[in-house]
Amino acid sequence: MEEKQLARDLIDFIDKSPCSYYSVKNTVDLLEDKGFKEYKLKDSLSLKEGDKGYFVVNGSGILAFNIGSKAIEDHGFSIVGSHTDSPGFRIKANPIMKKAGLIKLNTEVYGGPIFSTWLDRVLSLAGRVSIKSSKSLEPETKLINIDKDLLIIPNLAIHMNREVNKDFSYNPQNHLLPIMALASNEKVDENYLIKLLASELAINEDQILDYDLYLYDRQKGSLLGANEEFISVGRQDNLSMLYSSLRAFVEGNPKGVNILLATDNEEVGSRSIQGADSPMLGDLLERISLGLGKTREEYLRALAQSFLISSDMAHALHPNFEEVADPTNRPILGAGPVIKYAANKSYTSDAFSAAVFKNLCDLANVKCQDFHNRSDKAGGSTIGPISETHLSIKAVDIGGPMFAMHSIRELGAVSDLLDFYKVVKVFYSL
Ligand code: ZN
């Protein structure tokens, strides 16, 4: 593969994935393109060697599988996990607010975005809408992306906020609501958002029951730098890991059973039916095992021989903020995937699982790096430890090095994306 092609493809994937529902839709599109078929959760399952398929959980979690020739109780599952969501702002119910001659939308914060990066950006809305159907317990859902420059959160002039470059903190209820229209426009009433959704979907307003909608940045991603060595786009956390592992997954030629897992709601603690803190992974692995005609004992033996690469992004040493990094573990951009360690187990990596990952890097001819938090800093967590507490599977936490995690515009390196893809490709072929 040409060195920059994967990064260009990632940028396309991110540009068309403004929220987790689209991350899953675009994952499904690539899987279908490569011959994977959908298995519905409610259907009975019968599987055999060579079967390739996927399950979607509540529209924003996905697990795909590719079944090789070796018995799972002898070879286990080879799993790469990532998450489909990114931090930002979610539209509340009854969101229309009239203030200062303007219409603005009431939102709440989703996860931990860097607030200041969301101001003065051209924004729009994407998500899903629930629509009346003939079955009360099964409303239809449709994805929606309002493909126009619709919203903006304007800053306050520095003349009126002299503290903005010093010690100012944005209040999300007061300071961060996006504006949409002049209130003098008579068409923009209390029901305007529902009308907009209905006209986009070409349905009647009274068919709309509810929505999950998020703000997103309208600016497209780009490669930048003297040699276009950087990737500049939001949501690299965690679509970089999802997309590069997805590409390796669809190209993989499994011996045992390869699994691609992408859960939602990592940014808010993974507590949802489609999040990592749910029975999703265990239930679906067990269903694959039962579908292959295996006993409960054979399933548990398979777990004992399985391995999970929990992949999320990692913090690279920032040239303007070197003091926040650990004194001896300072991963840099462009130097390969990062193994993340934490004594408090906010990351799962230990001497065993990190050694497995180092072996995979060796096989892929890729260098890797180590990350620890400074001992006086708390740091983040991810899906690895949560998955391990639900299932007896050994796991490592790794990530692509990056800057500006949770900014509306994050920065990664082209070579790191390719390096991770190479490692996953090796993993999926063992
Ligand atoms: Zn993440």
User: In angstroms, what is the span from residue 267 Cα to ligand 1's centroid?
Assistant: 7
**CB contact at 8 A, 112 and 87:** yes
Find, among 112, 109, 145, the residue nearest to 217 by Cα: 145
**CB contact at 8 A, 144 and 210:** no
User: In angstroms, what is the span from residue 382 Cα to ligand 1's centroid?
Assistant: 7
Strand pairing class (77-83; 88-99) = unpaired
> Residue 102 has which token pair?
């303007």
User: In angstroms, what is the span from residue 266 Cα to ligand 1's centroid?
Assistant: 7
85-126 per-position pLDDT tens digit: 999 999 999 999 999 999 999 999 999 999 999 999 999 999
5-25 per-position pLDDT tens digit: 999 999 999 999 999 999 999
- What is the rounded CA–CA span in Å between residue 333 and residue 401? 6
Residue-level pLDDT at 383: 85
Check pLDDT > 80 for residue 1. no
User: In angstroms, what is the span from residue 133 Cα to ligand 1's centroid?
Assistant: 35
- What is the rounded CA–CA span in Å between residue 363 and residue 350? 20
**Residue where the block lists tokens 């930048």:** 224
Residues paired with 89 in a beta bridge: 109
Q: What is the DSSP string of 302-354?
A: HHHT-EEEEE--EEPPPTT-GGGS-SS----TTS--EEE--TTSSS---HHHH
Q: What is the distance, to the nearest Å, from the Cα of residue 283 to the centroid of all Cα atoms in its chain?
A: 21
User: In angstroms, what is the span from residue 279 Cα to ligand 1's centroid?
Assistant: 20
Q: 120-124, 261-265, 328-332, 389-393: which has the minimum mean pLDDT?
A: 389-393
229-242 per-position pLDDT tens digit: 999 999 999 999 99
**CB contact at 8 A, 151 and 115:** no
User: In angstroms, what is the span from residue 155 Cα to ligand 1's centroid?
Assistant: 27
- What is the rounded CA–CA span in Å between residue 333 and residue 393? 30
Find, among 309, 264, 281, the residue nearest to 425 by Cα: 309
Say how many residues make up the chain. 430
User: In angstroms, what is the span from residue 237 Cα to ligand 1's centroid?
Assistant: 5
User: In angstroms, what is the span from residue 348 Cα to ligand 1's centroid?
Assistant: 15
User: In angstroms, what is the span from residue 57 Cα to ligand 1's centroid?
Assistant: 19
User: In angstroms, what is the span from residue 398 Cα to ligand 1's centroid?
Assistant: 11
User: In angstroms, what is the span from residue 228 Cα to ligand 1's centroid?
Assistant: 24
Q: Which residue has the higher pLDDT, 373 or 188?
A: 373
Residue 84 identity: T
